[in-house]
């Protein structure tokens, strides 16, 4: 009797899939299909989430982030990022890969009293626990020494992942100043 054993494809962690998708988007290609091929809709507990997020809910995550900026508290802003999130910030050459580095970035960035406004946004809800919001935003900034006002226009990508407790956190955030600016 010949036994056929079915081998499962190697499991690709959703985080890797999302990071791949974000890298593709950041390079200017808006195709995310290949990057999410192995993603599923199970949270850290292995249980299925209740329902898929709407695009409006995903857009609201930026509003929460922008409100955290308005508090001036870098820890409050960093609290919206997953423990192992990656931040490629607009006004820093350093890639931030842990909480301390993300806090450090916002300690400096928040001195400019940033207020963000989205100009254009494209939301892709990948599954029940993963979404990407990409587009263009502007930041009104105030120089802390002179009080001079400045506006910076930038491209952005936020990759969000729903945590086991139901809270959405940023797992990857890329922001780069528009080349024409």
pLDDT confidence of 47, banded at 50, 70, 90?
low
Q: In the chain, pLDDT over 90 holds for what percent of residues?
A: 69
Q: According to the model, what pLDDT value does residue 150 have?
A: 94
Q: According to the model, what pLDDT value does residue 46 have?
A: 52
Cross-strand partners of 131: 125, 160
pLDDT confidence of 6, banded at 50, 70, 90?
very low
Q: What is the dihedral of CA 134, 119, 29, 170, to 10 degrees?
A: -20
Q: How many CA atoms lie within 13 A of 131 on its CB side?
A: 25
> pLDDT for 56-113, tens place per residue?
999 999 999 999 999 999 999 999 999 999 999 998 999 999 999 999 999 999 999 9
- Is the pLDDT confidence value at 35 over 60? no
d(CA 127, CA 48): 11
- Is the pLDDT confidence value at 30 over 80? no
Q: According to the model, what pLDDT value does residue 37 have?
A: 33
pLDDT confidence of 29, banded at 50, 70, 90?
very low
pLDDT confidence of 51, banded at 50, 70, 90?
confident
Q: How far apart are the first and last CA of the chain?
A: 70
Q: According to the model, what pLDDT value does residue 179 have?
A: 87
Q: According to the model, what pLDDT value does residue 155 have?
A: 97
- Is the pLDDT confidence value at 33 over 50? no
Q: According to the model, what pLDDT value does residue 50 have?
A: 64
Q: According to the model, what pLDDT value does residue 25 have?
A: 40
What is the topology classification, in CATH, of domain 49-177? Nuclear Transport Factor 2; Chain: A, (3.10.450)
Q: According to the model, what pLDDT value does residue 111 have?
A: 96
- Is the pLDDT confidence value at 149 over 80? yes
**Sheet of 115-127: strands edge to edge?**
81-88, 168-177, 149-162, 130-142, 115-127
Domain ranges of the chain: 49-177
d(CA 46, CA 181): 45
Identify the residue with better confidence: 23 or 167. Answer: 167
């Amino acid at each position: 009797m010949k036994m056929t054993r079915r081998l499962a494809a190697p499991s690709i962690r959703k985080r890797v899939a999302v990071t791949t998708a974000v890298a593709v988007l950041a390079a200017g290609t808006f195709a995310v299909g290949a990057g999410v091929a192995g993603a599923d809709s199970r949270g850290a507990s292995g249980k299925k989430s209740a329902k898929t997020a709407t695009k409006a809910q995903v857009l609201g995550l930026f509003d929460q982030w922008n409100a955290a900026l308005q508090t001036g508290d870098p820890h409050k802003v960093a609290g919206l990022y997953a423990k192992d999130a990656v931040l490629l910030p607009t006004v820093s050459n350093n890639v931030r890969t842990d909480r301390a580095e993300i806090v450090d970035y916002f300690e400096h960035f928040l001195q400019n009293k940033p207020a963000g406004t989205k100009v254009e946004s494209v939301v892709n809800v990948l599954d029940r626990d993963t979404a990407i919001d990409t587009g263009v935003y502007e930041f009104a900034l105030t120089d802390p020494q002179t009080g001079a006002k400045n506006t910076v226009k930038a491209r952005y990508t936020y990759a969000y992942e729903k945590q086991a407790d139901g809270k959405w956190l940023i797992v990857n955030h890329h922001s780069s100043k528009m080349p024409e600016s």
